[in-house]
Each structure stands twice: as structure tokens, then as C-alpha cells.
Structure 1
């Protein structure tokens, strides 16, 4: 696929950028719990040293549809978020929205990991974060399995987190869950659009590139095959020889180059569009829902209830395709997350350029 990109210096630069960024392995939208993450979180809160905003830049903006609210002048809010591409873009959107509403904003985005940001929210040291429903349910709340139905999963985390002093706002259509993708050419050749369609493939074409964790997770590869009626290890289903284990970043290029027919991806990764991949629809709803939504420290929201309505304007416009486009601008085009967030919010009319 890369060789099909236009030639010339611009095309060459794009190919090099895509190859560089395919090797990135930090874009993990959901939490991976463990002692290290908890220790980091404890260190941030207990040592008293605090977190210096590592990348607090956002462009200056004027008011658009987001207007200053009563009581915001002089009120301080802290926005937090994780240090992956998507987390940075969403975090900058939250910073820009809170500033447009008239608040004095401390930018605490770019935090390493899900557990540290969760700890900041629970302790009231941050007021707003964009969070994923599946991450909260499976990793923070330690439930053994997710809820594929998106509204039900949002309601479940909303209800449980009220007891933790956090309030979930309106969820976005964006669902950054696990997915399987094929090249556009393969999708057209075999008529593939859903995970059920994998059964159409000849056995020798049922080849998969997956990361080790997905390969072994209880909500991962093996159970997914069973859910779709494919016997793992069977010569008539998916033989073990058809399964290759790769680092998460390498899966994209391996799928693109034809080392396997189907590759495990995250549904909003910008490399999906950059490499010309088709995401297969989870038509039998196996994967847990990972919709993103704004989460507020409940005491802050009680003091400034207008915040919920402000973010409710943004959430409906955040779709998988929108986020892929925004992630691509950072991961492939090399733009700054803050600039990407600002330009998108300006296009939607939430903000204007600096007066």
C-alpha cells in the first residue's frame, strides 16, 4: 500500500512518516492495570511534588458557540488526560472548551497512564477528563467482563462512579474498542465488511496478526473466534499456524504488507486510513464498548453545572472516523495535538480564532 502512494518528495516524506509512526507502541486507549501504574499514581499524589504541565500550550481563541458562563470568571479548573495521541487531542479540546467558558484552566494533560489520571480525578486534584467506558468498567472498577451494548455500558459506569464522586457526561459515538481490519483490496476481493464474513475466507486466507496480550485476553482473540463460530486450532477453522504474534505497532504494517489477512487494530487509530485498511464491523457485538465521554469531579460540576451542557455539544460530533482523521494529523502529518484540537473545534463553531 505504501508503494502506491504518490511519488515525489511529498509522497516520500509521507511514506517515511507513516513507517516511523507505525512503530509507535504508546497509543493504548484502555488501561493496563498493574503495580507500576499504581505506584506512579501514588507517587504523583503522595510526594507532594505535583505534576508540572509538560505541554500546556493551546492556541489563543475567541468565543464561538461556547460562551462564558456565570461564575466562571476567576474560578479555577484542572483538566487532565493521558499522554497518547488521542488522549492529548481530547485533553486539549477540554482545555479549550473550559477556557472558552471563562474558567482559569490548569492544563494537566500528558499524564503517563490511565491509573495516574484516575487517581487525580478521585482525589479532586483534577476536575475534567475524557474517559473510556470500557476502561472504567474493566480496569478501574475491576468487573470481569465488559458490556457490548454502548448505552448500557455508559449507564453502568455512570451509576457506579457517582459513588466515587465522579459524574459521567454524555458519551460520544466514538468507540475505541478492539477491532480487526483488512486491506481495502482484500475487503473488495472477498466481500468482507463484518466479522461474520471471516467465515467466507478460504482457510489458508484466515491468517491473523495480533499482539500477545490480545491473543491471551479473556475478551480477546480466542473467545472472539469462538463467538463467531470459528474453531481455533482446527484445520477447518483457524489453524494455529495461521496466527502470528506482533508488537502492537507492527500489526498495522504487517497487515498492509500481506503478512496476514486480518490484523488487530484500535478502532480510531489514524494508521487505519493512512494505510488504506477496512475495519470489520463487530456485527455480533463481542467486543466491550469503549465509548469516550467527559467525566467531571462531582463537586466541581455541582458548582458549575453548565459544564455538562458545554461538553454535551462536543460529544455527539466525536465519531470513530473523526478521531481517526484527527489522530492521523498528529501521528502521520506531525501536527501538534493542541493545534489539531483547536482547528477542529473552530471548524465546528465552538471557538473562533483569537480576536
Structure 2
């Protein structure tokens, strides 16, 4: 999802990526390794720099090692464009990308597709044909934007959907007070587009612009806002007792994560799909919120969180 800096040169990608290389921990065989040997195969897994991506990078590296692969890690690359360039240049072999990001930013489409299955199908087909990037199965999780509110406040205000929120904004702007980050405030798929899609305009006095990380605490406290912009798989949603308001008009683009692999790498090692797809199927919004929260709220390392989760599912051995 989101935050896409200007494209960088391949040389810069290779230099930056190298700073994050590591051999990582070994993993014992579990259910993912059954009939899916990667013995003798060396692979490089990358990721972007935010928490969810760091966890997914570790999940993937451990899963591949459990099937016998030698895995180099380049987790924590700066931004979507950098990470994508690392993939297409061959600096990394795979990383988790989001359908909405690829559709709008890499495939240069201007209108997102509201149906997740159709969005995935179009992204997967076009990216393979145009860029030789293979998309494995997408997770049901959707790391998109949302407006969230403290669950108890949501019940008190009787808001069950963004259409209800729009009515509240018109009838009592102070109760509809909303915190947004500067990027969201200016994006067509952010605050301006949301107001247009739902037919309301919240007075400036009821809109506060905060740093993105500060918004979660602000919503939890109800100061300076009752509602606020969030990412739907962020661990702080569950930890702070927040609820994303249902987007009943499907305004926000779909951002389902999926492991993307260079086609040449996948063709030589099709077992990668049999290892990654069960992982994708298990990644719901709630699961990613929990995994992200283990890092952001409890301060655990992404590698520890990934290993514990994989073992709990029986995906790798203990």
C-alpha cells in the first residue's frame, strides 16, 4: 500500500539492497515442505521498510528455508519503487506487493477495480505479460485506507458505515471530527476523494492534520478527533480498541498482498507457489493486525514473530 517515492536507478537499488543482506535463521520442515523440496536452490527475498513488510519478508525466508532453500534476505528497502526495481533488475527474486499499488503505480492504471478477485486477475495477467512478474495467490487481507473510530464511540454515535459518517458530518461536524496525515489529505484516493464520493464536506475546524503514527493514539483518546485515517492491517487498531468504519460504497482501492516473483525464477522453481500460497490464504486482516502488533506494540523482532506464527500453523517445524 501507498507511499511511492520517485523511481531510483538500478545501481542505487543494488547498493541500497546490499545493506540489508543477511543469511537469517534456519527453519525445520513442516507442512509447507512436504513434497516441495528446494534443496540446492538459492533465493533472495526482499521487502519494503514498514512493519508488515518486514514480517512478511521473514515469513517467506523461513518458509523457503524449511523446504531446503538457501535464502538471502534484503528486507527493509526504502519504498515501493525501490523494491520493485530490485525485483525487476534481479537484485531480489521476490517480495510481497499489493494489488492496488501495482495496478495504479506500476501498471499506470487510473481507475481501481472494486472487486478484489477481478483486481487481482487483471494485475496478475498484465504484470506477467508486460513485466515478466509472476503473482502468486493473494491474501484475503486488505491493507487499504480506512476511517477508524474507537469502538465504543462508534456505538454511541450510531455510525455503522461511511454513509452514516457522512450524515454525521453534515448534522454535527464536531462529532465527526477527523484526523488525517498530510499525504492522505491531498490524495485522490484519500480525503478529497472520500468527501466527494460520500457527498460531504467537513469544515476545516473539524479536521486535524497529524503525523500518521500519532493518529491512532488520537482516535483512541478522542482528542483532537473522534475519527481518523488508518491502514486496515495496522496492529494498533486492535490494540487500542478501534474499528474501521465499513466502506459501503467501496471507495478505497483494494490492496491485497501477494508474493511477486520474477517469472524466470518461478519457472525454474514452481514449488515456491506451493510453499507461499498456503501462507497467503492464512493472512487475514485480523492475523496481520496481530503480527504487526507483536512488533509495534510489544516490541518483538519481526523474525521472532514470523517464526512463532509459522510454527503455530504447523507451516514449519519447532
**In the alignment, is the contact (CA less than 8 A) between 1:55 and 1:110 conserved in 2?**
no
Match of 1:12 in 2: none
CA distance in 2 between partners of 1:328 and 1:108 (Å): 22
**In the alignment, is the contact (CA less than 8 A) between 1:80 and 1:108 conserved in 2?**
yes
Residue 138 of structure 1 aligns to a residue in which SS? helix
- Alpha carbons of structure 1 residues 198 and 141: separation in structure 2 relative to 1, 3 Å: same
Q: TM-score, normalised by structure 1?
A: 0.83
Residue 110 of structure 1 aligns to a residue in which SS? coil
Residue 121 of structure 1 aligns to a residue in which SS? helix
Q: Which residue among 249, 252, 255 is the counterpart of 2:219?
A: 255
Match of 2:134 in 1: 167
**In the alignment, is the contact (CA less than 8 A) between 2:21 and 2:72 conserved in 1?**
no
Bigger Cα displacement from structure 2, 139-148 vs 298-307: 139-148
Gaps of 5+ in 2: none
Q: Which residue among 280, 285, 290 is the counterpart of 2:245?
A: 280
Match of 1:14 in 2: none
**In the alignment, is the contact (CA less than 8 A) between 2:17 and 2:77 conserved in 1?**
no
Q: Deviations over 1:170-196 (max 9, x none)?
A: 100111000000011111112223212
**In the alignment, is the contact (CA less than 8 A) between 2:37 and 2:271 conserved in 1?**
no
Match of 2:144 in 1: 177
**In the alignment, is the contact (CA less than 8 A) between 1:227 and 1:286 conserved in 2?**
yes
Q: Does 1:135 align with 2:107?
A: no
Q: Does 1:30 align with 2:2?
A: yes
Aligned-pair RMSD on alpha carbons?
Answer: 1.8
Match of 2:28 in 1: 62
Match of 1:317 in 2: 282
Q: Deviations over 1:301-335 (max 9, x none)?
A: 11111211221111111011110111110011011
CA distance in 2 between partners of 1:227 and 1:134 (Å): 18
**In the alignment, is the contact (CA less than 8 A) between 1:187 and 1:193 conserved in 2?**
yes
Q: Deviations over 1:85-106 (max 9, x none)?
A: 1011000011011111211111
Match of 1:342 in 2: 307
Match of 2:203 in 1: 239
Residue 134 of structure 2 aligns to a residue in which SS? strand
CA distance in 2 between partners of 1:70 and 1:93 (Å): 17
The Cα of 1:276 is off from its aligned counterpart by: 1.2
Q: Does 1:122 align with 2:85?
A: no
Q: Does 1:218 align with 2:202?
A: no
- Alpha carbons of structure 1 residues 77 and 168: separation in structure 2 relative to 1, 3 Å: same
Q: Which residue among 13, 30, 44 is the counterpart of 2:13?
A: 44
- Alpha carbons of structure 1 residues 216 and 252: separation in structure 2 relative to 1, 3 Å: same
Bigger Cα displacement from structure 2, 108-117 vs 197-206: 197-206
The Cα of 1:252 is off from its aligned counterpart by: 1.3
Match of 1:327 in 2: 292
- Alpha carbons of structure 1 residues 153 and 33: separation in structure 2 relative to 1, 3 Å: farther
Q: Does 1:79 align with 2:51?
A: no
**In the alignment, is the contact (CA less than 8 A) between 1:79 and 1:91 conserved in 2?**
yes
Residue 170 of structure 1 aligns to a residue in which SS? strand
Match of 1:298 in 2: 263
**In the alignment, is the contact (CA less than 8 A) between 2:17 and 2:91 conserved in 1?**
no
- Alpha carbons of structure 1 residues 147 and 57: separation in structure 2 relative to 1, 3 Å: same
Q: Does 1:145 align with 2:111?
A: yes
